[in-house]
Chains A and B, each alone.
Chain A
Amino acid sequence: MADKEKRRSAAVPSGMSAGKATKSDSDVEFLSQAGVGELLRGAILKMVEARSDDPIGFLADHFCNLASVTDSSPAGCGDEEQMNGGPVSACAQEQQHLNRALWHLRLAHHSQRSAFSNNVRVAYDLLNISACQRGGVRGGLYTQTLQCLCSEGGVPASTSAPLLRRLHCQDHEVVPYDVFRHGVLTCAVFSDYIRQSQKLYAEVCCPHEGPASRALCMAVLGTLKEALETSTGCEPDSIRYLEASAKISPNRLAQAMEGAQSRGPGGNMDAKEFENAAADLFITRVKVVF
Chain B
Amino acid sequence: MTQTSDHHRRMSCSEDHTESVDCTVKPPVFLQIGDTKGDSARSGVCVVDVTLPYGKPINIEKITFKNYYTAYVTVRLLRRKAEKEGSTKWCTALTDLALMDNPHTDGGSQNYFSIHRRQMQVQPDHVESIRLILRQPSSAWRIFSLEDIRLFPHKELAPEKEVSDWLSDLIVVKQPPDLEGLPDPQTVSSSIQQMWALTEVMQANRTTASIGRFDVDGCYDINLLSLT
Chain A interface (Cβ within 8 Å of chain B)?
A: 110, 139, 169-170, 173-176, 178-179, 181-182, 185-186, 189-190, 192-193, 196-197, 199-200, 203-204, 206, 216, 220, 223-224, 227-228, 239, 241-255, 257-258, 261, 278, 281-282, 285-287, 289-290
Q: Which residues of A contact B174 (CB under 8 A)?
A: 251, 255
A175/B196 in contact, CB under 8 A: no
B207/A182 in contact, CB under 8 A: yes
Contacts between chains A and B (CB distance < 8 A), count? 134
B195/A290 in contact, CB under 8 A: no
Tell me whether A246 and B199 are in contact in the complex, defined as CB-CB below 8 angstroms, given that A173-B211, A254-B179, A258-B179 are known contacts. Answer: no
Q: Which residues of A contact B193 (CB under 8 A)?
A: 245, 248
Which B residue sits closest to A233, measured CB to CB? B162
Could you say which of B185, B187, B198 contacts A251, with CB atoms under 8 Å apart?
Answer: B185
A254/B177 in contact, CB under 8 A: yes
A186, A192, A253 pick with most chain B CB within 10 angstroms:
A253
Task: Tell me which residues from 178 to 195 in chain B have a Cβ below 8 Å from any Cβ of chain A.
Answer: 178-179, 181-189, 191-195
A285/B202 in contact, CB under 8 A: yes
A196/B191 in contact, CB under 8 A: yes
**Which stretch (B58-66, B67-75, B163-171) binds chain A?**
B163-171
Q: Which residues of A contact B173 (CB under 8 A)?
A: 251
- Cα separation A247 to B192 with both chains bound (whole Å): 10
Chain B interface (Cβ within 8 Å of chain A)?
A: 163, 166-167, 169-170, 173-174, 176-179, 181-189, 191-196, 198-203, 205-211, 213-214
A203/B181 in contact, CB under 8 A: no
Which A residue sits closest to B177, measured CB to CB? A258
B189/A250 in contact, CB under 8 A: yes
- Cα separation A173 to B188 with both chains bound (whole Å): 43
CB distance from A238 to the nearest CB of B (A): 11
A224/B195 in contact, CB under 8 A: yes
Which A residue sits closest to B166, measured CB to CB? A246
A178/B195 in contact, CB under 8 A: no
- Cα separation A225 to B151 with both chains bound (whole Å): 49
Could you say which of B170, B191, B196 contacts A203, with CB atoms under 8 Å apart?
Answer: B191
Which 8 A-B residue pairs are closest in the complex by CB-CB distance? Answer: A178-B209, A254-B185, A258-B177, A200-B191, A250-B189, A250-B185, A182-B207, A178-B207
- Cα separation A84 to B195 with both chains bound (whole Å): 51
B170/A246 in contact, CB under 8 A: yes
Q: List 16 A-B contacts (CB under 8 A).
A: A110-B201, A173-B211, A185-B205, A206-B183, A239-B163, A242-B167, A244-B196, A245-B196, A246-B169, A249-B170, A250-B186, A254-B176, A255-B174, A282-B202, A285-B203, A289-B211
